[in-house]
Structure 1
């Protein structure tokens, strides 16, 4: 959706109302013919958890399980459990609830600034500059634009490599940018590179992200998704998010249902 006047923006997605200590509620409500977008509820859960740690502790990893379909027209309530605050790390658990039922369960870990080596073994994936790549629509995202560079899997039904950036200026808040990255990270699927004649990826089961270095999401980042395996009715892929200057900002992995027949909620349909 566009960021025209009157339309919701990414900043609306990343706005929570504090109800009580460790208890938050989403404020953005809108009609959507599809189940609640997983990246939205995950980003809001991470934001709720981040509000309960020291400001200098930023997310370094998370693992979320999508347990039920949600509804974008209803608020989600986020309850945070403070598992531990150590000398350098803080651990949190979050559940997102709608109608008295848990739709998302997430564990997240936060780390204070730490000095040490900074090494990146592999170079960023090859991709044309965003200015030289064709536009691609990123469905279901508020205030994001995309560009499609050359594809490692040209026959994929949905791009597995694409540039993206927020179209609204974001404040200088590293937690907010990490939540924006998580919001983006659930769009697309590396499994779109697999043949669709017998089966197709369905709803997400779980999603994990590791934040290596800070990245601004109102600047271009490259998403690169790689399929690995399908077994037991589940498909699994990994991904990387790099900045325009080739710095690895985050790594991710996701598992989805992979059942016979086309998925009506497939991205781009």
Structure 2
């Protein structure tokens, strides 16, 4: 989303007001004809959860269910439950509420620094350097720019492989960068590689991210989304997020509605 002076930034998205212990409220509101972007509420839920754990414990996974459409023009309240703080892991549950109704429920887990092997089995997906790629406008994202390398699915109606980074500098806080990755992770869909003549991907049902290694989101990362199956009115795909030097930062998976008709949530429709 292009920005001009006074427009919201990613840092505005990642700003929460602490209302009480384990209770937070978003501060960014803006008019939007579409329902609240899922990546925004997921990123803010992860931020709320991360505010309740020790600073050295890094996010390693989130699992969220999108239960209702939200409204970008009103604040979202996040309630955090501290399920457990163990010797190495902290488990949290978060509900995001608007108008007294839950729009997202999420489980998140955080881990203390742990020594051990570091193995990446598969190489990063093939992609030209972002400096060589055409600009790509990432819809609905504040101050995030995109570039499109060669596409693995030539018939896809929107890119399934693309570079992205924040155009505003982010602080040296691993939680902020994990939340920025969560914000990015819900954009696009691997199901765009499938034919649209009879059905199209719609709203997200559930979403999960595993954070393998820290990555700065004000540097280029490559998103690669891969479709796997459609059944029962639902479509499922997986994805990866790798750094510019080929390090696997995160993996994700998502299931969306996949029903006859055009996707009413796609911009321009």
TM-score by length of 1: 0.99
Could you list the per-position Cα deviations for residues 131-158 of structure 1 after superposition, in whole angstroms to 9, with x for gaps in the alignment?
A: 0011110000001000000000011001
The unaligned stretches of length 5 or more in structure 2 are: none
Q: Is the 8 A contact 1:158 1:267 kept in 2?
A: no
**Are the equivalent residues in 2 in contact too, given 1:226–1:238 (CA < 8 A)?**
yes
Deviation at 1:265, TM superposition (A): 1.3
Structure 1 268/157 Cα, relative in aligned 2: closer, same or farther at 3 Å? Answer: farther
**Paired residue secondary structure (2:180):** helix
1:164 aligns with 2:164: yes
Q: Which residue of 2 aligns with 1:214?
A: 214
For these two proteins, the number of residue pairs brought into alignment is: 269
Is the 8 Å Cα contact of residues 165 and 221 (structure 1) preserved in structure 2? yes
Per-residue displacement from partner, 1:77-124 (whole Å, max 9, x unpaired)? 000000000000000000000000000000000000000000000000
1:185 is matched with 185
Q: What residue number does 1:153 align with?
A: 153
Equivalence for 2:98:
98
Q: How does 1:188-203 map to 2 (within 5 A)?
A: 188-203=188-203
- In structure 1, the residue matched to 2:44 is 44
Q: Distance in 2 between matches of 1:90 and 1:267?
A: 38
**Aligned residue for 1:8?**
8
* 8 A Cα contact 1:14 1:44, kept in partner: yes
Residues 3 and 167 of structure 1 are in contact (CA less than 8 Å); yes or no, is this contact kept in structure 2?
A: no
User: How many Å separate the matches in 1 of 2:247 and 2:266?
Assistant: 30
Displacement of 1:64 in angstroms is 0.2
Partner of 2:31: 31
Aligned mates of 1:255, 1:141 — CA distance in 2: 20
Counterpart residue number, 2:86: 86
Structure-2 separation of matches of 1:96 and 1:144: 24
How many Å separate the matches in 1 of 2:266 and 2:28? 24
Please list, as runs of the form range in 1=range in 2, the aligned pairs for 1:16-27 lying within 5 A after superposition: 16-27=16-27
CA RMSD of aligned residues (A): 0.8
TM-score, length-scaled by structure 2: 0.99
Say yes or no: does 1:120 pair with 2:120: yes
Between the aligned partners of 2:105 and 2:168, the Cα distance in structure 1 is: 29
